[in-house]
């Protein structure tokens, strides 16, 4: 079958790379793609928000299945449009995508169906939000309600920072995403990411992963879209995964079905493992980036039938196999990210850096400029390695990072530090 992947990031490169090996595949396309995706798929110059252009392309090129990578077109209703046109796709419709599109919707769902999460307040007015802060001292978390490219969360460590965050969000820092905001209890514990494929009634757990959100070593500095990840995450033991399915994933799937908006696609559960057990931080309705990169590196099964089963409601017939090896991904970003950064710097030596076994370099913000690959985004590369342990994967990944010739790029140097410390303790 002919398949179209929508998106241009590292997540989409990883998905296209995995789909490319499927025996079911005819032609593989990506809209709009990037310099790395062009190695495994035909890239077409159609934006992720150009729904008419996407549907026309699908009809003209006999596309039988569309895999939607990013959150914006999902929340915007691309799946609904594809369904109307008779084209199968992977991802939730607009109603179900509210799980990511509105943090307030999700918090209310958790409250109504007893899904464990942080205590919260939901506000459309700055004065009411500040009155709530008068009664709930920092540290506290302030979130823009809508989509903000992973950056609409402010971890306020002081009351002054919390009040300023309210003003920033309602003042338009995150555009329309900040029309409402959510104020949440500051949870103590260890963050982790858990993923489950869903077909509206059945959920199949995928591997766990751990992301590194802060820009600097030791988890300091501004929040980002993610500076690196590894899988498996030791904190997500099998007993913890059973608890997650029982307390969070399956109740959410049942709740969405009961509300008449069955969830199909991948449910990304952002978690805090607290002393009281796992609590939901937030849902995303697409694969994480860079978590997708480490998941696809470890997945041994054909991904395409599993994605199709999410649409068809046949996930109960799917069994996925995973490598026992660990995968670790280091994000290389443009200097200045997550704030202002320059575009257009040249990246060299990519093929040599990826030449060693067990290495894949997934592209995000790259463009092919003649024979040159140039950086055109904040997060640009995800250098991903397999290894017998997280420590081994870490060593291999950083060796490849150091081989990339890109003076304008930077990365964290401690990706996987929690897992490596655990491995040393248990050795």
CATH code for the domain of 84: 3.40.50.20
The verdict on 294 and 341 lying in the same domain is no
Asked whether residue 95 is domain-assigned, the answer is no
The verdict on 28 and 146 lying in the same domain is no
Q: For position 160, which CATH number holds?
A: 3.30.1490.20
| pLDDT at residue 177, rounded to an integer | 84
Residue 201, sorted as left (phi over 0), alpha (psi -120 to 50) or beta, turns out to be: alpha
Query: What is the DSSP-derived secondary structure letter of residue 137?
Result: P
A 10 A CB-CB count for 189 gives 15
Asked whether residue 138 is domain-assigned, the answer is yes
10 Å CB burial of residue 174 (0-12, 13-18, 19+) is buried
The verdict on 265 and 295 lying in the same domain is yes
Q: Which residue has the tokens 């495994």?
A: 40
The verdict on 59 and 151 lying in the same domain is no
Asked whether residue 268 is domain-assigned, the answer is yes
The verdict on 247 and 309 lying in the same domain is yes
Q: How far apart are CA 414 and CA 328, in angstroms?
A: 11
Domain finish residue from 317, 342, 361: 317
Structural contact between residues 208 and 200, judged by C-beta atoms closer than 8 angstroms:
no
Closest CA to 195 of 268, 250, 293, 90: 268
Asked whether residue 115 is domain-assigned, the answer is no
The number of domains in the chain is: 4
Domain finish residue from 269, 285, 317: 317
**What are the structure tokens assigned to 388, written together?**
């017998």
CA count, 13 A, side-chain hemisphere, 422: 12
Structural contact between residues 229 and 291, judged by C-beta atoms closer than 8 angstroms:
yes
Closest CA to 266 of 409, 89, 106: 89
Q: How far apart are CA 218 and CA 418, in angstroms?
A: 10
| pLDDT at residue 77, rounded to an integer | 98
The verdict on 142 and 29 lying in the same domain is no
Q: How far apart are CA 87 and CA 204, in angstroms?
A: 24
Question: Is residue 171 helix, strand or coil?
Answer: coil
Question: Is residue 336 helix, strand or coil?
Answer: coil
Structural contact between residues 366 and 346, judged by C-beta atoms closer than 8 angstroms:
no
10-residue mean pLDDT series, the chain (427 residues): 98 98 98 97 98 98 98 97 98 97 93 94 92 93 84 88 92 88 92 95 94 94 92 91 95 98 97 92 95 97 98 96 97 96 96 93 94 96 97 98 98 96 87
Domain finish residue from 68, 90, 112: 90
Question: Is residue 386 helix, strand or coil?
Answer: strand
Q: How far apart are CA 215 and CA 427, in angstroms?
A: 30
The verdict on 286 and 196 lying in the same domain is yes
Mode of pairing for the β-strands spanning 120-123 and 181-185: antiparallel
Asked whether residue 45 is domain-assigned, the answer is yes
Domain with 142, as residue range(s), is 125-179
Tens digits of per-residue pLDDT, 162-198?
Answer: 999 999 999 988 888 888 999 999 999 988 999 999 9
pTM above 0.75, yes or no: yes
Q: Which long-range CB contacts under 8 A does 416-420 form with residues at least 24 apart?
A: 416/210, 416/228, 416/230, 416/328, 416/390, 416/391, 418/190, 418/210, 418/234, 418/235, 419/210, 419/230, 419/233, 419/234, 419/326, 419/390, 419/391, 420/390, 420/391, 420/394
The verdict on 11 and 32 lying in the same domain is yes
Structural contact between residues 38 and 50, judged by C-beta atoms closer than 8 angstroms:
no
Q: How far apart are CA 164 and CA 1, in angstroms?
A: 52
Mode of pairing for the β-strands spanning 2-7 and 63-68: parallel
Q: How far apart are CA 304 and CA 307, in angstroms?
A: 5
The verdict on 136 and 253 lying in the same domain is no
Q: How far apart are CA 185 and CA 154, in angstroms?
A: 12
Query: What is the DSSP-derived secondary structure letter of residue 322?
Result: B
Asked whether residue 120 is domain-assigned, the answer is no
Asked whether residue 355 is domain-assigned, the answer is yes
The verdict on 268 and 346 lying in the same domain is no
Q: For position 366, which CATH number holds?
A: 3.90.600.10
Closest CA to 96 of 270, 281, 264: 264
The verdict on 135 and 72 lying in the same domain is no
Give the angle 145-148-152 at the CA atoms, nearest 5°: 65
Asked whether residue 101 is domain-assigned, the answer is no
Q: How far apart are CA 141 and CA 119, in angstroms?
A: 11
**Cis amide leading into 190 (omega within 30):** no
Query: What is the DSSP-derived secondary structure letter of residue 117?
Result: B
The verdict on 228 and 292 lying in the same domain is yes
């Amino acid at each position: 079958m002919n398949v179209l992947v929508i998106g241009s990031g590292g997540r989409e490169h990883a998905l296209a790379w995995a789909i490319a090996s499927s025996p079911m595949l005819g032609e593989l396309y990506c809209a709009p793609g990037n310099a790395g995706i062009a190695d495994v798929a035909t890239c077409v110059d159609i934006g992720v928000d150009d729904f008419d252009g996407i549907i026309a392309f699908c009809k003209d090129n006999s596309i039988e299945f569309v895999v939607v990578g990013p959150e914006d077109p999902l929340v915007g209703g691309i799946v609904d449009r594809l369904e109307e046109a008779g084209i199968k796709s992977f991802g939730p419709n607009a109603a179900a995508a509210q799980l990511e599109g509105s943090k307030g919707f999700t918090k209310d769902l958790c409250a109504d169906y007893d899904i464990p999460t942080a205590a919260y307040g939901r506000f459309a007015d700055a004065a009411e939000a500040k009155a709530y802060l008068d009664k709930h001292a920092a540290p506290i978390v302030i979130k823009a309600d809508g989509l903000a490219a992973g950056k609409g969360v402010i971890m306020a460590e002081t009351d002054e920072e919390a009040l300023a965050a309210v003003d920033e969000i309602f003042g338009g820092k995150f555009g329309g995403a900040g029309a409402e905001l959510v104020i949440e209890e500051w949870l103590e514990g260890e963050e982790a990411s858990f993923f489950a494929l869903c077909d509206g009634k059945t959920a199949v757990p995928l591997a766990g992963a751990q992301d590194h959100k802060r820009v600097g070593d030791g988890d300091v500095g501004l929040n980002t879209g993610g500076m690196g990840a590894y899988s498996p995450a030791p904190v997500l033991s099998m007993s913890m995964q059973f608890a997650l399915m029982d307390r969070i994933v399956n109740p959410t799937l049942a709740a969405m079905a009961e509300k008449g908006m069955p969830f199909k696609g991948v449910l990304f559960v952002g978690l805090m493992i607290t002393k009281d057990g796992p609590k939901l931080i937030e849902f995303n309705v697409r694969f994480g980036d860079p978590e997708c990169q480490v998941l696809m590196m470890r997945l041994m099964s054909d991904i395409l039938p599993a994605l199709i089963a999410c649409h068809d409601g046949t996930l109960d017939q799917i069994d996925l196999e995973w490598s026992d090896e660990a995968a670790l991904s280091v994000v290389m970003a443009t200097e200045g990210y997550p704030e202002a950064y320059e575009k257009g710097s040249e990246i060299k030596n990519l093929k040599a850096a990826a030449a060693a076994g067990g290495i894949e370099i997934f592209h995000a913000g790259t463009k092919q400029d003649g024979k040159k690959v140039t950086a055109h985004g904040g997060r640009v590369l995800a250098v991903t390695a397999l290894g017998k342990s997280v420590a081994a994967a870490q060593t291999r990944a950083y060796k490849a990072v150091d081989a990339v010739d890109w003076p304008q790029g930077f990365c964290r140097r401690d990706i996987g530090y929690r897992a490596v410390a655990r491995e040393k303790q248990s050795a």
